[in-house]
Amino acid sequence: MAGTLLRQVRVIDPTTGTDQVQDVWMAGGRWSAIAPTLDIDPDDVDVIDGTGKVLAPGLVDLYSHSGEPGNEARETLAELMAGAIAGGFTRVGILPGTQPPLDNPGALRRLVDLACELDQLPQPLLLPWAALTQGAQGEQMTELAELAEIKSFAIAGLADGQPLTNRVLLRRLLEYTRSLNRPLALWPCDRTLAGNGIARDGSLALMGGLPGVLVAAETAALTTILELVRELDTPVHLMRISTARSVALIEQAKADGLPVTASTTWMHLLFSTEDALSYDPNLRLDPPLGNPTDQEALIAGVKTGIIDAIAIDHSPYAYEEKTVAFGDAPPGAIGLQLAFAALWERFVAPGTWTAVELLRALSDRPAQILQLPPPQIAERAAVEAFLFDPAATWTVDASTLRSPARNTPFYQRSLRGQVLQTWHYPGLP
């Protein structure tokens, strides 16, 4: 007998709705036994005292940005993967805006090969999104059928990670991808309506002297996508939802039976325009943080399932890129190592969400959106999970972050809750 035994750990699995204290034994990369108590000789296994700790399925991030290839000074793949594992993520979607862009099979294969060349274990499964348009520039379609048929390595699906402003092209993409049976992700954003805005339009932005972005910059594009989906019946994932009005539109679309799913980012759940008035450049995001009513609608949307998933949208930048005025800072923040602890502390600890609801939005539903079987804590299943201590307190600084990027509002602050260990055996069937 060999392996690891976790004694009296709180097992949470959103696929079954499980939330109970159990003994869990893993061996050979699989869950061997799960029961309220297990009679196993501790001399034959490594024993971990799980009292007060949480065992949960590995987290799945729908979309994030990689510095490598092209911007390794921001963050390498090795650093991204180390941060993901330290945050409990076992699968990470990578958007195509690398250099070169992920718009052809060779570029996609190169990214996966770079990850495979790393000898660090455990490591997350990287799932690159293949670009919808050449260079992810929104002007000319890529060879979509060729990209969709890739079998030798996994891709997340088809997405640019940028708004598609050409409505004729958008229609053709929806028509063309209808039969490809691959996840399709679109960001509803009208750049013309957004103008030069850097904060969500409203009294708070006006008070802070920040140029506003109209809600209509999101909802006008969203309405166009939804109407095309209504006519063409092409399944679509709506990414980076940030306004209360969008939540209402998506709720109605789902009630009408449209084949749509939606996600928001962890930062839009934790912060609002009120926080942006601190002028912290790490809170400069695109889309911008919502007003408090937007934030409240997103939080409620995750709880009810109108917003299916929480994405990290991890965006590393070098120190000098973000150490500028709020309006000059490139939009984005890091988050793979930080998100779960911050979300648990903000929503689960006070009872706003249940632990199952949080994990459903960070593991089960993202996997389903990517058309993948979700990680499970079930006998004979491959081990893909993490151990979390809700009571642990740690400081986010250079000594604890796995990435050289520091663009987070949590830097040099304490977080309550920490991932202690992550297990992942991606080679098992």
Q: Report, as residue numbers or ranges, the catalytic residues.
A: 313
Q: Are 81 and 115 in contact (CB under 8 A)?
A: yes
The answer to whether 426 and 81 have CB atoms below 8 angstroms apart is: no
Q: Residue 426 corresponds to which amino acid?
A: P
